Structure 1
Amino acid sequence: MTRRIRWAAAAIAAVTLAVFAAPASAQTQDTAVAHLREELAGGPPSSYALVSADGTVTTGAVGSDVTPQSPFLLGSLSKSFTATAVMQLVEAGKVGLDTPITAYLPWFRTAGENNPITVRQLLNQTSGLPTEAGTVDLYEPETTLEQRVRALADVVPVSRPGATFHYCNKNYATLGLMVEQVSGQSYADYLKAHVLAPLGMHRTFTNLADARREGLIEGSSVLFGLNVPMETPDFPGARPDGYLVSTAEDLSHYLTFQMTGAYRGARPLSAESLRLMHSAAVPTGEDHAIDGIDHYGFGWGTGTLNGQPVVQHDGDLTRYHANLGYLPDRHVGLVVLTSRNPVLLDNGAPFHHTLAMLAGVPAPEIGNGFLLTYGIIDGVALLVLIAMVLATRRQLRRARKLPELLRDKGFRRVAVRPLIGHLVAAAALYAAVFVGVGMLSYGGWLPVDVAFQTLPDFTVLVLAGMAFLAVRGVVWFALASSRTRRPAARPSRPAQTPPARAVGDAHPVR
């Protein structure tokens, strides 16, 4: 073929691909959104936004009085905003990525050898700080940002700085405090002026009071399958690592900026800084803090999905869950915000399934994980209740024989030993759950109120079991004590009858 014919053929092929490929892409996105809505239906109030690099944005919401403009707490999605602020200061020459954090916070220190920790290591979560150091104060909203960072003086790192990835909220709390020190502004004021305003994120909030005035969707917990609304306290000291508030619509602006480098002409960061933030900086190894990634860096996780690169992060609070991510090769991104976060469920499933569909994975079947999970929990609760009833009936039957038991075995064996045994069992149950489980997952003793916020069903069952054991032992002891103190009834004396008289003893008749 001549060059002209070849150019004509190429043009025809390009037009053909454009005509057929574009509708296919749009159809895929429409199918993905339909699937997302179906997965979110029947769940907690939620909102979402699907963003294409060409500027097309599809937003929606599920639940009464919920819109794409409704605010939700973001959890750890806040970390990427903190990383953006840090990179702005790096571009301005005010912060060095490989400079020790003590150059900006001279008093900063950890326990142990106290090796220097750099800004880059904090961004990459390779400071050596353990995960538990970042969760120990998450239920102490009165703690300030500086107090949280100063508390690291008592924390022994679990690895040398730069050696290993350990997801720790305090890394980003420290960076947030550094932003304040370097900029001379509060974290909230800096973020509003340099990140939120340029991106038109006017319904993104740095405190819950403002968010509530603008219609914050209150989070909820699940108790034996029932939705229980609970108000979340504000935690100003945790804004840089978990307490920003935003909407699906505002996050579509943020996602557009992350994907394309700009939003309506605004460029808060250079393309080079964005490339660095979205690069696979360090492997996460066995730390599975974020689903669907294998590397982390600068407030973002990276990995592959159906053979394609993916950049994403999730956010977890007691009563909120958030996901945000995009597929660079497909030029499409997704954000999903929900107002319920039961520990026993895969709360990110709607997001991950939809993002996988956008990557070309067939739509998965929509299961009934909620009903199955809480059906099991309710079944266990019913069995525990039945066991308590049967044990109580058995004790009532045994109480009828209490006098004989006390006479045959004595007060100590019948009453004192069971009381001690029941109280020890209740204490052991408390220790196993609120101390043992707390040490494994929380890094310290787990307060009952915190346990109730995270696992209310399980906590109620444990407390009910403890109360039953203690009350059963005390009641039995009191009953035995009352039987022991009761004076023994005196045997009734038989009525005396006059002795029979002999015939000769009869009175003479007068």
Structure 2
Amino acid sequence: MLDDAKLNTALENVRRAGVPGLFAEVRDNDQVWQGAAGVADVTTGRPVTADMRHRVGSITKTFTAAAVLQQVESGQIGLDAPIGRYLPKLVPGERGDAITVRMLINHTSGLAEYLPYAYSSFRAFPALADTGPQSMDDHRFTRFDPIELIGLGVAAPAAGTPGGTPGLYSNTNYLLLAQLLEQVTGTTAEKCITQNVIERAGLSDTAFPDEPQMSGPHSRIYEAWFGMIDPPRDYSVYDMSYAGPSASLTSTVADLNRFYGLLLAGEIVNQSSLEQMRRTVQVISQEGKLIEYGLGLYPMEGPDGGIFWGHGGTVWGGGALSMTSADGKRQMSVAVNVQRWNKLDSMGRPQPHPIDDALAALYRVAMQR
């Protein structure tokens, strides 16, 4: 049963902790709670609403993984086939022979993250102390070529050996998966995912953006960049080609819950594929944490000890998390309109912030069975 009062209080506590605005949907069987707190625009005071569209970042990876597994089911892709069989020019030689499609999906390919090389004036995690916001401003309207981005990741020093664990979370993997989808389907990854995953799931408010501006009702999103941007800066208008099918989807909390509910019910991919998605390995996240990661999904323990499956995601200024219980009965999707609120210590490590505790408390209430 859902406790509306506790959910509303927990949501409001996140706003009080420092998030300008956030919204969420929690489902328990046929019960649905939606809530919103704070503002969508800090200048005008326009309030957030629970039906707003939002950039959901790496939640996109679940959609991309599902599209690849559909092609595995149809025999067009071998899950444990070398990527060099399909994309020999992008991952040539011995690496192309050693890295499998599965390793790309679960981040054990050993391929480095391309992002710090694309945004050359700052470095990625974990060297946070050396970062700066200037590149984000410089690249607001840059149209990145995915082949060039992949080339940066492949040419960079290897982050590990193919199949070795822990793996390293890398967007290079998912840009390669997008090229793989294009190779075997003859259409763009965005069209393939839209037709075979988004439309199949009946998601009316989920789409890949084709311009820097978002469409439909949405909140502005604000980047704090570890306290280096104070007050946080508006990055609502941004060309998402730097992420592509690894992290560029826009969606709503209702659509996310619908998608993960259908996915975990075996209605997007079959049960055999779903079992593969839930086979996890250890991966080092972009924040430098050791996590369990499957094929575009990762687990999260609920307050009652039950396991939830889903994904989180961030973009410059926005973040989201969507989790569904293993039996599909309890679901939670939350979106926030600020990112990287934690300041850094002298070693470049993010420091605790009240927002962290408030969000954790919200998740506990939302996942309480």
Establish whether TM, by shorter chain, passes 0.5.
yes
Is the Cα–Cα contact under 8 Å of residues 293 and 304 in structure 1 kept in the other structure? Answer: no
Deviation at 1:109, TM superposition (A): 2.1
Partner amino acid, structure 2, of 1:195:
V
1:302 to 299, 307, 319: 299
Deviates most, 67-76 or 215-224: 215-224
Deviations 1:357-405 (A, max 9, x none): 35559xxxxxxxxxxxxxxxxxxxxxxxxxxxxxxxxxxxxxxxxxxxx
Task: Name the CA distance, whole Å, in 1 between partners of 2:363 and 2:327.
Answer: 13
| Structure-2 change in CA distance of 1:94 and 1:290 (3 Å) | farther
> Is the 8 Å Cα contact of residues 310 and 322 (structure 2) preserved in structure 1?
yes
How far apart, in 1, do the equivalents of 2:47 and 2:6 lie?
Answer: 25
Q: Distance in 2 between matches of 1:112 and 1:89?
A: 25
Q: Which residue pairs with 1:69 in the alignment?
A: 51
Q: Distance in 1 between matches of 2:265 and 2:233?
A: 40
1:73 maps to a residue whose letter is: R
Q: How does 1:170-209 map to 2 (within 5 A)?
A: 170-207=172-209, 209=211
CA contact (8 A) 2:54 2:219 kept: yes
- AA partner of residue 151 (structure 1): L
C-alpha distance in 1, partners of 2:8/2:262? 21
Deviation at 1:270, TM superposition (A): 1.3
The structural deviation recorded for 1:93 is 1.1
Aligned 8 A contact 1:127 1:162 in 2: yes
Q: 1:356 aligns with which of 354, 357, 364?
A: 364
Report the CA distance shift for 1:228/1:120 in structure 2 as closer, same or farther (over 3 A).
closer
Task: Tell me the equivalent position of 2:42.
Answer: none
1:22-75 Cα shifts (integer Å, max 9, x gaps):
xxx333x652343123323562222211122x2432222222343222111111
- 1:259 Cα deviation from its structure 2 partner: 3.9
Q: 2:71 aligns with which of 82, 85, 89?
A: 89
Q: Distance in 2 between matches of 1:339 and 1:193?
A: 29
Residue 136 in 1 paired to residue 117 in 2? yes
1:413 corresponds to? none
Greater strand fraction, Structure 1 or Structure 2: 2
Unmatched runs of 5 consecutive residues or more in structure 2: 40-45, 120-135, 344-352
TM-score (norm 1): 0.58
Pairwise CA distance, 1:110: 6.3
8 Å Cα contact 1:208-1:245 kept in structure 2:
no
For residue 47 of structure 1, what is the aligned residue in structure 2? 23
Larger gyration radius, structure 1 or structure 2: 1
Post-superposition Cα deviations, 1:275-328, rounded to whole Å, max 9, x if no partner, equal 321x242123xx244799731011122243443323232212221111111332
- 1:310–1:325: 8 Å Cα contact kept in structure 2? yes
Contact 1:123 1:172 in 2 (8 A): yes
Q: Tell me, in whole angstroms, the C-alpha distance in 2 between the residues paired with 1:330 and 1:205.
A: 24
Partner of 2:263: 258
Letter of the structure 2 residue corresponding to residue 335 of structure 1: S
Report if the CA contact (8 A) 2:110-2:164 is conserved: yes
The 2-side partners of 1:295 and 1:323 are apart by 16
Residues 1:324 and 2:322 aligned together: yes
SS of alignment partner, residue 322 of structure 1: strand
1:338 aligns with 2:336: yes
| Equivalent in 227, 235, 241 of residue 236 of structure 1 | 241
In structure 2, the CA distance between the partners of 1:32 and 1:161, relative to structure 1 (3 Å rule), is same
Distance 2:23 2:246 in 1: 22
- Partner SS for 2:340: coil
What displacement does 1:248 show? 1.4
Q: 2:164 — aligned with what?
A: 163
Question: Is the 1:112–1:156 contact (alpha carbons within 8 Å) kept by the matching residues of 2?
Answer: no
Distance apart, 1:334 and its partner CA: 0.9
State the distance in 2 between where 1:149 and 1:225 align: 33
CA deviations on 1:76-112 (whole Å, 9 max, x unpaired) are: 1111111111111111111110011122212122699
Structure 1, unaligned runs of 5 or more: 1-24, 262-266, 362-510
Alpha carbons of structure 1 residues 350 and 255: separation in structure 2 relative to 1, 3 Å: farther
Distance 1:210 1:216, change over 3 A: farther
Structure 1 residues 271 and 58, CA gap change in structure 2 (3 angstroms): farther
Higher relative contact order (CA 8 A, sep 6+): 2
CA pair 202-210 structure 1, distance change in 2 beyond 3 A? farther
- Among 91, 99, 102, which residue is 2:84 paired with? 102
SS in 2 for 1:209: coil
Identity between Structure 1 and Structure 2 (%): 23
In structure 2, the residue matched to 1:367 is none
Shift of the alpha carbon at 1:246?
A: 1.0
Are residues 113 and 26 of structure 1, via their aligned partners in 2, closer, same or farther at CA, if it must alter by over 3 Å?
Answer: closer
Q: Give 1:91's aligned amino acid.
A: E
The offset of 1:351, in angstroms, is 4.3
Structure 2-normalised TM-score? 0.78
Distance 1:236 1:224, change over 3 A: closer
Structure 1 pair 303–69 and aligned structure 2 pair: CA distance change class (3 A): closer
Rounded to whole Å, the distance in 1 between the matches of 2:97 and 2:157 is 11
Where 2:211 maps in the other structure, the secondary structure is helix
* Aligned residues between the structures: 326
In structure 2, the residue matched to 1:38 is: 13
One-letter identity of the residue aligned with 1:205:
A
SS in 1 for 2:180: helix
1:282 equivalent to 2:281? Answer: yes
Q: Contact conserved, 2:282 with 2:290, CA < 8 A, in 1?
A: no
Report the RMSD for the aligned CA atoms in angstroms. 2.9
Tell me the CA shift for residue 348 of structure 1. Answer: 5.7
- Decide which structure has greater helix share: 1
Cα distance in 1 for partners of 2:15, 2:317 equals 16
**Aligned partner letter, 2:310:** Q
Distance of 1:209 and 1:113 partners within structure 2: 35
8 Å CA contact 2:235–2:316 kept in 1: the answer is: no
The change in CA–CA distance for 1:215 and 1:46 in structure 2 (over 3 A counts) is same
Q: Is the 8 A contact 1:70 1:216 kept in 2?
A: yes
**In the alignment, is residue 311 of structure 1 matched against residue 305 of structure 2?**
no
Whole-angstrom CA distance in 1 between matches of 2:274 and 2:116: 29
Give the conservation status (yes or no) of the 8 Å contact 2:83–2:96: no
